A and B are shown apart, each in its own frame.
Chain A
Amino acid sequence: MTAVLLIESVMKFAIALFSAAHAPSSRRALLFAQAALAGGHEIVRLFFYQDGVYNASGSVVTPQDEQDLPKQWRNFVTEHQLDGVVCIAAALRRGVLNEEEAQRYQRETVAVGAPWELSGLGQLHDAVQDADRLICFGGA
């Protein structure tokens, strides 16, 4: 009997997250992302849009007995050196500002820092063009 070696091709994923850190879909997005990497695939970009921007906020304080998604996302992106982009327009509207924007708009609170980058929707489109698959998480 011949042994057949199956070489699965490496797929490039773009993962977009639309819901806040406390939403179950945010946890699902992270678990999917982890499984994608564990499966030998690539994540070309993580894009946080709408309430997804809250996952990048350093101001979120999660109850001790719950999953700290912002921290888990931060660790995940840092550990795997992923491109974590937060939509700037969505972030501004929701008060998730980095230092530059806080200065620009004269706001007191800086909520986002490394590894998160605030950028435009062009980055989402770029990721969609580059990736083999776009997976969106959000809603509930």
Chain B
Amino acid sequence: MSTLHVLSHSPFGDERLSSCLRVIGANDALLLSGDAAYALQPGTAPFSALHARNLKLFVLAEDAQARALQVPDWAEAIDYPAFVELSIHYDKVNSWL
């Protein structure tokens, strides 16, 4: 079983990213959406944490673009059709509401 975790809150001053990283499994993936995209801000603790984890990382392209965030080569920017595909590829989706 594999899970696509989805975050949408800024990682600064919010616990969702760190809690997600505590429980995310080896076969799981993480999609950053909305303000969670700020985790790709270079030179920050969330950025380092994500880079160090070496997990399958996705970000909604529109959210990276809106925030002028460079998508590093260890993450993949996706559109909505790809989001739909991901939700099918993984056995379930866990959105951290």
Interface residues of A (CB under 8 A from B): 11, 13, 18-19, 24-25, 28, 31-32, 34-36, 38-39, 41, 132-140
Contact = CB atoms under 8 A, between A and B. Distances in A.
B92 A25 contact: no
A13 B85 CA distance: 12
Interface in B4-27: 8-10
Contacts of A139: 8-9, 95-97
Nearest to B14: A140
27 contacts: A18-B97, A19-B97, A24-B35, A25-B8, A25-B33, A28-B33, A28-B34, A28-B60, A32-B80, A32-B83, A34-B80, A35-B83, A36-B84, A38-B81, A39-B81, A39-B84, A41-B84, A133-B87, A134-B92, A135-B95, A136-B93, A136-B95, A136-B97, A137-B97, A138-B95, A140-B9, A140-B35
Given A18-B97, A136-B93, 20 more contacts: A13-B87, A19-B97, A24-B35, A25-B8, A25-B33, A25-B34, A28-B8, A28-B60, A32-B80, A32-B84, A35-B81, A38-B81, A132-B88, A134-B93, A136-B97, A137-B95, A137-B97, A139-B8, A139-B95, A140-B35
Contacts of A11: 88
Interface in B45-87: 60, 80-81, 83-85, 87
